[in-house]
Amino acid sequence: MYQHYEFLKVTRDGARLNISMNNPPLNAAAYGLHDELSHVFYDVARDDCSVVVLTGEGRAFSAGGDLDDMLRNATEPARQADMMKRAPHIVHGLLALDIPVIARVNGHAMGLGATLALLCDVAIMNEGARIADPHVQVGLSAGDGGAMLWPLLIGFARARHHLLTGEALTGEQAAQIGLIHKAVPADQLDAEVDAYVDRLLALPQLALRYTKRSINMVLRAQTALLTEAHAGLEQLTMSSADHVEAIMAFKDKRPGNYVGK
């Protein structure tokens, strides 16, 4: 079922399904990985697993977008539109999946990486890793689900600050304010995730799945109203001069010169 995936590594361990983002060096959500994330959870829904663990290969969970890929999208409207019309399916696919999903946040989770972690049912994070939604820092609106999820999880006051500035939190800080479930030292992450998986596997699976479905009904109703609109706003900013300037400034390690267009 998963043999055709190039940027996702999928393995089985009994009733546990492991999905690892695999786009070295930092699992940036470039076109290929973004595309595969938009339909992998529909495949998982047809699988017979009981728990999913989502993580990243190497030292990052997913460090957000790829700058060169962003530049290409800014100058190729058809490619940009193709990518963004699939973006809502990442959100819908994860939230509609009845099987519990644990995010094993082994390293930095930025932009879409942060959104993926927060869409999972339980996020357990390396306490020293960082999580942020820095769309604004590269001249983009937070259109992949972050503008919806952060306020629901930590309240509007805190969410406004982090979304408007892109300021990052450590895993430890994220756990303290309720953005994620738990943060542990890096050398304890696997044991903590394994224990949580075992805890879920020991429960009545039908009750577990339907409880997850009940919890996610509110989120799914929200996404039905907002996700396409948020993706559309992000796509508007993708074509802006400020977006291109933000990328070039980041690559050149200089302040940006923004014109509001």
In angstroms and rounded to an integer, the radius of gyration of the C-alpha atoms of the chain is 18
In a domain, 224, yes or no: no
Is the pLDDT score of 160 beyond 90?
Answer: yes
What pLDDT sits at residue 229?
94
Number of domains in the chain: 1
In a domain, 222, yes or no: no
In a domain, 89, yes or no: yes
In a domain, 214, yes or no: no
**pLDDT category of residue 149 using cuts at 50, 70 and 90:** very high
What pLDDT sits at residue 144?
92
In a domain, 120, yes or no: yes
Is the pLDDT score of 1 beyond 90?
Answer: no
pLDDT tens, position by position, 49-86: 999 999 999 999 999 888 899 989 888 888 988 888 99
In a domain, 46, yes or no: yes
* In contact, 129 and 110? CB cutoff 8 Å: no
Residues 6+ apart with CB under 8 A from 216: 95, 96
pLDDT tens, position by position, 221-254: 999 889 999 999 999 999 899 999 999 998 999 9
Task: Summarize the confidence of residues 127-135 as an average pLDDT.
Answer: 98
User: CB burial class (10 A; 0-12, 13-18, 19+) of residue 164?
Assistant: exposed
Quick one: which of 195, 194, 170 has its CA closest to 183?
170
* In contact, 112 and 54? CB cutoff 8 Å: no
Residue with tokens 């892109």: 166
In a domain, 189, yes or no: yes
Residue with tokens 């996700």: 227
Domain that holds residue 50: 8-205
* In contact, 139 and 261? CB cutoff 8 Å: no
Check which CATH number belongs to the domain holding 132 and give it.
3.90.226.10
**pLDDT category of residue 127 using cuts at 50, 70 and 90:** very high
Residue with tokens 């890793």: 129
Is the pLDDT score of 10 beyond 90?
Answer: yes
**pLDDT category of residue 259 using cuts at 50, 70 and 90:** very high
**Helix, strand, or coil here: 1?**
coil
Task: Summarize the confidence of residues 142-154 as an average pLDDT.
Answer: 95
Tokens of 54: 């989502």
Task: Please give the mean pLDDT across all residues of the chain.
Answer: 96
In a domain, 259, yes or no: no
